[in-house]
Amino acid sequence: TEHIVNDTEYVVRVFIRGKLGFQTRVGGAVAAATPVAGTPLGELPDGESCAKIRLVEGGTSVNFLVAKHNYENTGKTAVLRLDLYDKRAWSAGADTYASSSIDAWLNNDYLSQMDSRVQGLITPISIPYLPGAGTYAAHTILRKVFLPSAGEIGITASSGAEVDGVAWTCLSTSKVACYGGVATEWYTRTPAKLSSGYDRVWIITAGGAGGYRPCTNTFGSRPTFTLPSDMLFSLTPNPDGSYSPIL
């Protein structure tokens, strides 16, 4: 029995079988394929010892954490940017994530920065969120790119914060994220449960603790999205330990 060899092109001829047998007069259809060796994203570790993957963003390679396999029972893997992308306001003054400026930016300007081949793999999924403006029961919303929720980050000290997602163990030891090499406060997508005002959202402080601040403040953005669990990555890691996609 001949074994298929990776990185070797194979030519396959397909024939149609009809009532009179195989239709060989037309020669069949021919296609070529080259199998490659790789590790499916779903087999890279998440959790406390989560792997890093390297993706091209705005023409530059950046690292993401393998945050959660089978995110929200989608069969997809959530990946979280290792460092903060930039610093920006969450919204002009309301704690409603679905109409926030940061949500619009994530799903338009930011998404367009990703390599076009990866963009095609980022599809809308249903994520848990708290609507805000006095409504703090868990709902869902469809998004391609999103911020992690307070619940996913593991902030459970406030009433309501723990209902918008299951905690990711990849951040169980440290929630600190950097911008320009400096530990910086960063936004979640979760509004703070208030009886009035409705202008505070949960952030992670520079020291990795949870707190809530006005949504008009300028804090770090940490884009998150999902990728197919069967997306292939290199067998051998890069010098920094990250894995590159095979596209």
The phi, psi pair for 245, rounded to 5°, reads -75, 150
Query: Distance (Å, rounded) from C-alpha 184 to C-alpha 181?
Result: 9
Looking at residue 159, what is its pLDDT? 47
| Residues written for the chain | 247
Looking at residue 27, what is its pLDDT? 54
Looking at residue 173, what is its pLDDT? 85
Rg (CA), the chain: 22
Looking at residue 20, what is its pLDDT? 57
| Pairing mode, strands 52-57 and 178-179 | unpaired
According to DSSP H, which parts of the chain are helical? Answer: 101-105, 116-119, 150-153
| pLDDT block averages, 10 residues each, the chain of length 247 | 56 59 57 71 96 97 98 97 98 96 98 97 96 90 97 72 82 93 97 89 94 96 98 97 97
Task: Print the SS3 string covering 129-161.
Answer: ECCECCECCCEEEEECEECCCHHHHCCCCCCCH
Looking at residue 13, what is its pLDDT? 62
